[in-house]
Chains A and B, each alone.
Chain A
Amino acid sequence: MLQLKNTPFHERTSALCQPQNWRKWAGYFVVGSYEHTIDREYWAIRNSAALIDVTPLMKYIIKGPDAARLLDRVTTRNIQKMSVGQVYYTGWCDDEGKMIDDGTVARLDETTFRLTAAEPNLRWLTMNAVGLDVQFEDQTDRVASLSLQGPSSRSVLKRVCESDLEGLKYFRLMKNKLGGAEVTISRTGYTGDLGYEIWMDAKDAIKVWDALMEAGQDYGITPVGILALDMARVEAGLFMLDVDYTSAGHAWIESQKSSPFELGLDWTVALDKPGYFVGRKALEREKKEGSAWKLVGIEIDWVGMEKLYAEVGMPPQIPGTAIRASMPILVGNVQVGYASTASWSPLLKKYIALAHLQKPYYELGTDVRMEITVEHQRKHAPAKVVKLPFYEPEWKKK
């Protein structure tokens, strides 16, 4: 039948989703929020344990003697240096050094990797594998994944996993057994908090969900939808494809494209690795000449914004969720960039945004103004360029 897919957790998630708030994600339906207000879901990420269905992430197994060589060639990271059990976050570019997509690469064994992506990339991978001894498998539908995020996530997992994961370091993975099912657990996530992602055969999905919910009951485990996740990822300074940047593959015009440097991913571009990789020349050039744009964090001055609303006799009217919209950013009366996602941060009690700013306005501490609409009128709220992430708890990497 011609329809979108439900994830293998649908039987559980649909029974819990009170507001019937469903979102489309890569061909699947996932829960936007489980409750009418998303406060409790957001705070589960920051205070206890949030259980998030992230099955729609594209998952590719890349296998064969040349698997490492292929990924070294496609991504910007030095994959040859990667040890088994390690996970890298990376972007990948076209030959002009512009980002196509981003995700994680996990080295499952010497010759097997799992790559996650926001969008289908099989064609791109295959095109780059000419002459290499490597096989691909799209496991997106076959492998279900759950993200367990929050300061209590480790305590919950320790209660329910067969092997101890105390020693599992940030961006490493391990095989384990959970609720009678074989799983892979990686210490990764999209929240900037302590957290894990659990990968399992789709047929074990309900077993694993139930085991986690039971083990987590005393730790305040809460099923969380992607709307609360969207707020947490902004606080963590993490961007999203198609929201904060456009894939070089989809862009209509050059100016829609972004390089990894422009997205603040300097640390992922291994220009010191040997040999060719896709986009290398362009990236070397950009590194030398400097980037025209940069993705930065901005903090909107609440008092300044309150004044703009007070002029019309109202308290500030911003939604208590992340806003995916382009909002012009000015210095003086000249537009120098735009915010791509803004969000109220319940934790920081601040209004924050991810913004693309032109040189030289992307320097830390620069005073800018962001456009907001106050009672149908364009106003400009004072804001400042600040360091990303906005929030990073000490336990994230501990």
Chain B
Amino acid sequence: MTQNNYDAIIIGGGHNGLVAAAYLARAGKKVVVLERRHMVGGATITEEIIPGFKFTEFSYVVSLLRPEIIRDLKLPQNGLKILPLPSTFTPMDNGDYIAGWDDHDTTRREIYRHSPKDAEAYDEYGRRMARIAKAIKPILSILPPDPTSLSPKDLIGLLKLGQFAASLTEKELYGLAKIMTQSAADMLEEWFETDALLGTKSASGIIGTFLGPRSPSTAYVLLHHYMGEIDGAFRAWGFAKGGTGGIAESIASSARMFGAEIRVNANVQQVIVKGGRAVGVALENGDEIYAKAVLSSADPFVTFLKLVDQKYLPDELVHSIQKFRTRGSSGKVNIALSELPRFTALPDEHVLHRGAVSISPSIDYIERAYDDAKYGRFAKEPYVDMIFPSMIDPDMAPPGKHVMSCFVQYAPYDIEGGWDDAKREAFGESVIATIERYAPNIRRAIIGKQVITPVDIEAITGITGGNIFHGELLLHQLFFMRPATKWSGFRTPINGYYLAGSGAHPGGGIMGAPGKFAAELAMKDGI
């Protein structure tokens, strides 16, 4: 069967693919999204794995989803609600805890309880990071300039970045230079002394990377996660109504509203290239679909090395993509609960159950967890970032019952001897045992659970290596080097073929920017 009437084909119905489709359809283009699975969302899904209990299977929180995308695509009218996630609670080994709240004075008071010095540093640290994030943030919303290019467009782009950096004081500029190179631990230890505070803050520097808090360049990752916070009330960390699947559904609903077609169970095998131009795709079932352009929201490895014949690509690009770091390092444990965990440090239900709970008693604790991963083992005592979606959105679990989402690091993709059911079970058990040390009732509260390893992430979502960001957010894999030098601008060496996923600038997380930029570029190119 052959069809030849689309302006654009989008490979992959994850959030970026859907955003690209919605923007194209909004501009009047005839678009089809081809999703391999039976449902859209990719790694942005919610599924009722245990009847009545809705799991945010992979991604679970959101902060970087761009507000202009929310407005342009009318996502609130299509069901999107981003609910506040006001706090972080870190239980400590001595039975106490340290918590951050969305009220500045309350948080300062709480830190003061542990260290008056840290309480003061917290003020200054927050301001410094916000200023640097503000200077850097515009980079996220513009196309990455190529510093070696002499084209006027790239030069103007660079100048723009220069202007923002120029708004920083000399001290802040040095701070920025440090952030680009330091480890999260080194940077934070310049500011703070309380172990649990250091551990919790350093965790933002390792999420989605195969690095430890003492590895150089993790300070930048920490800053990347800080970006979402500087808009204050306008855009803070939040939990989407219905879980992250609620985000994908609202974008899909918007795309359909604008006239896009979304096909599930449509597995793209190959991009059809004719005369150096992408002209369509061939599906697993033998169907061929033709269009003026093909946008791939799959990761760079799949986009460049699996979907197209390498003869169409420069060797240098093939080599870079082969070396692109996409090693998965994290897993998820999603749990259905008959009651909330009662923490030794906080025995009763508390407003802090509405925010995140972080198992990160110290930097050394997380670094030791990384040590396990370095040598091919999952962490026996992992870093865990938990939320209770049912405390934020009561519709996530039956009344009186709860769901719990645990992001766990480290769980290496390349585990010694490979992942199997026994190892997955043991990994899940290490997470439960870790939580149990701080919340002794957890085991008897468990109704059912789902353990997800990086290999499962790859098998279910198709993301190579199971890396949640389609490639680690390392400095050498960002901006004009994401996913490869010379090919950071969403275009590929094949005309009419675009990279529209998290492996493109500005990177991973539920941001939607790669999908939007790629769609806009494809239209600029005249589809």
Residues of A within 8 A of B (CB): 35-37, 39-40, 43, 46-48, 152, 218-220, 302-303, 313, 315-316, 319-320, 344, 346-350, 391
Contacts and interface: CB of A to CB of B under 8 A. Distances in A.
Nearest to B394: A220
A152 to B, nearest CB: 7
14 contacts: A35-B103, A36-B101, A39-B233, A43-B84, A46-B81, A47-B241, A47-B393, A218-B394, A219-B394, A302-B71, A315-B230, A319-B233, A320-B234, A344-B233
B241 A36 contact: no
Given A218-B400, A219-B394, A302-B71, A349 B84 contact: no
Contact of A302 (B67, B105, B394): B67
Contacts of B400: 218
Nearest to B235: A349
A115 to B, nearest CB: 35
B56 to A, nearest CB: 16
Interface in B64-113: 67-68, 70-71, 76, 81-84, 86, 101-103, 105-106
Nearest to B84: A39
A320 B233 contact: yes
B76 A391 contact: yes
Given A218-B400, A346-B233, A347-B81, A37 B86 contact: yes
Contacts of A320: 232-234
Contacts of A48: 393-394
Contacts of B82: 346
A390 to B, nearest CB: 10
A47 B389 CA distance: 13
Contacts of B241: 47
Contacts of B103: 35-37
B81 A47 contact: yes
Contacts of B391: 220
Taking each of B106, B231, B393, B394, which has the highest tally of chain A beta carbons within 10 Å of its own beta carbon? Answer: B394
Contacts of B106: 36
Given A36-B105, A40-B84, A43-B84, A316 B234 contact: yes
A218 B399 CA distance: 5
A272 B132 CA distance: 64
A344 B232 CA distance: 12
A398 to B, nearest CB: 15
Taking each of B70, B106, B134, B233, which has the highest tally of chain A beta carbons within 10 Å of its own beta carbon? Answer: B233
A349 B70 contact: yes
Interface string B345-388: 00000000010000000000000000000000000000000000
Nearest to A221: B394
B4 interface: no
A36 B234 CA distance: 17
- Considering the complex of A and B, which 8 residue pairs feature the smallest CB-CB distances, nearest first? A320-B233, A36-B103, A218-B399, A39-B84, A220-B394, A349-B67, A349-B70, A218-B400
Interface of B: 67-68, 70-71, 76, 81-84, 86, 101-103, 105-106, 134, 167, 230-235, 241, 354, 391-394, 399-400
Nearest to A391: B76
B102 A349 contact: no
A39 B102 contact: yes
Contact of A349 (B76, B101, B399): B76
B76 A347 contact: yes
Nearest to B241: A47
A239 B76 CA distance: 22
Contact of B394 (A39, A152, A347): A152
A272 B231 CA distance: 52
Contact of A39 (B70, B86, B134, B393): B86
A337 to B, nearest CB: 24
A385 B81 CA distance: 24
Given A43-B83, A302-B67, A349 B234 contact: yes
B209 to A, nearest CB: 28
B82 to A, nearest CB: 8
B488 to A, nearest CB: 24
A350 B393 contact: no
Given A152-B394, A347-B76, A43 B233 contact: no
A219 to B, nearest CB: 5
Given A302-B67, A315-B231, A320-B233, 14 more contacts: A36-B101, A36-B106, A37-B102, A48-B393, A218-B394, A220-B391, A302-B71, A313-B167, A315-B230, A347-B76, A348-B76, A349-B71, A349-B235, A391-B76
B237 to A, nearest CB: 11
Nearest to A44: B83
A315 B130 CA distance: 11
A6 to B, nearest CB: 25
A195 B102 CA distance: 28
A47 B230 CA distance: 25
Taking each of A35, A152, A319, which has the highest tally of chain B beta carbons within 10 Å of its own beta carbon? Answer: A35
A350 B105 CA distance: 28
Contact of A350 (B71, B84, B231): B71
A219 B397 CA distance: 10
Contacts of A303: 68
Nearest to A301: B71
Contacts of A313: 167
A302 B81 CA distance: 19
Nearest to B398: A218
A30 to B, nearest CB: 21
A307 to B, nearest CB: 12
Taking each of A152, A218, A349, which has the highest tally of chain B beta carbons within 10 Å of its own beta carbon? Answer: A349
Given A315-B134, A346-B233, A302 B84 contact: no
A303 B82 CA distance: 21
A377 to B, nearest CB: 18
A303 B71 CA distance: 11
A391 B76 CA distance: 9
Contacts of A152: 394
A43 B82 CA distance: 9
Nearest to A39: B84
A307 B231 CA distance: 15
A51 to B, nearest CB: 14
Nearest to B233: A320
Contacts of A350: 71
A283 B497 CA distance: 63
Nearest to A320: B233
Contacts of A43: 81, 83-84
A48 B233 CA distance: 20
A178 to B, nearest CB: 18
A46 B393 CA distance: 11
